[in-house]
Chain A
Amino acid sequence: MRDDPSVIALVARVGDGDQEAWDELVERYAPLVWSICVRYRLSRQDIDDVGQSVWLLLIEQIGKLREPAALPGWLATTTRRECLRVLRAGRRYDHEGLPPDDQMPPDPSATMIEQEVIVAERNAALRAAFAELPQPCRELLSLLMSDPAPAYAEISARLGMAIGSIGPTRARCLDRLRRSPHLVAVLDDQAGDGIEVDDIEIKEPRGEQGD
């Protein structure tokens, strides 16, 4: 995955003691931490415990992160380790003889974690790109994404937009979204053969990306 320059900048600002940058970092990556905890089927209390440890470890070590661009991977690995820790603290797995985490063999969940990182980075980039769209675009796309999606007539009435221009405006807004630098940074090498957005199951490694 290509480095996202905005993440590198955030990490540097946090290192300088910038609380706003930290807040932004937490907002960006909380869904990643959360989704991994959910994958481990932790209780809400355990998820809070894992979250607390992960953020504390991050603030403690952020100055020592040699590769700020590797932050998502670091967060995912740390979250996974913390999930195993709380499971072990409850001794729920004692009888299964789970080895200490530094001796954990690569298992299917490691692949799952990689997939979660890719999805989380893509999602974060999409949200960042969306947040930078002009207000009318965000309004229109939000309406189109609501469930159930309103009819064009209703959209027209709510946004004061001619029915005939909804389609072209939608296309323009989506194109603008697609061209956002946030997306270009993250998606360039993911999008080789299209992305199945609803499919975050573990997949076979992708073949050569030829044209």
Chain B
Amino acid sequence: MSKVTKGWDDEEVLAALQQALRAQRAVPPEFIEAGKNAFAWHNIDAELAQLTYDSTLDSARELSLRAEAASIRALTFTSAHLTIELEVAQDSLLGQIIPAQPATIRIQPREDAEITLTTDEIGCFSIQPIPAGQFRLHCRTAAGVDALTGWITL
């Protein structure tokens, strides 16, 4: 028995190694890839706006609404200083910044060039057409607060 590792005999160390490699194989490669991609955020000076509500995950809402109304998707992203509310309308994506204030919105599609637009006085905006692939929103208020959502797929 090695002095360094006390109780580990050959069978134990082999079983432990087997478990360690199995735990690694259990993780899908895309999950790891997505983690590596997060490096793109290095040195970006913006607050992360996290998904705090998604109507498709709200089972109570689905039950309470009739089928045709339930298809309208609503999402809420919250950062330390800003909330971004999104609603998927028929041919556009409607949004509002809370607290209500003017802001610049940059739509950053993963595979495409970014688009910049400006909200109205109370922070409302409309994105047309609805982004097809993954995208994120970078919001900068007139007061200089920056918030960036995670990747969104509608």
Contacts and interface: CB of A to CB of B under 8 A. Distances in A.
A89 B52 contact: yes
B23 A31 contact: yes
Given A51-B31, A55-B35, A122-B20, A195 B12 contact: yes
A192 B7 contact: yes
B66 interface: no
Residue among B34, B39, B50 with the highest chain A CB neighbour number at 10 A = B39
Q: Interface majority SS on A: helix, strand, loop or mixed?
A: helix
Interface residues of A, number: 62
A19 B42 CA distance: 9
Given A55-B35, A55-B38, A195-B8, A89 B51 contact: yes
Contact of A191 (B7, B21, B24, B36): B7
A85 B48 contact: no
B10 to A, nearest CB: 5
Given A178-B4, A183-B5, A30 B32 contact: yes
Nearest to B17: A126
B57 interface: yes
B94 to A, nearest CB: 20
Interface in B52-98: 52-54, 57-61
A141 B14 contact: yes
A74 interface: no
Contacts of A35: 23, 26
Interface stretch (A56-64, A105-113, A150-158): A56-64
A57 B50 CA distance: 10
A85 B52 contact: yes
Given A123-B23, A141-B17, A53 B150 contact: yes
Interface in A93-136: 94, 119-120, 122-124, 126-127, 130
A129 to B, nearest CB: 8
A17 interface: yes
A62 to B, nearest CB: 8
Contacts of A12: none
Interface of B: 2, 4-8, 10, 12-21, 23-24, 26-27, 31-32, 34-36, 38-39, 41-43, 48, 50-54, 57-61, 150-151
Interface of A: 14, 17, 19, 22-23, 26-27, 30-31, 33-35, 46-49, 51-53, 55-60, 85-86, 88-92, 94, 119-120, 122-124, 126-127, 130, 141, 144-145, 170-171, 174-175, 177-179, 183-184, 187-188, 191-195, 197-198
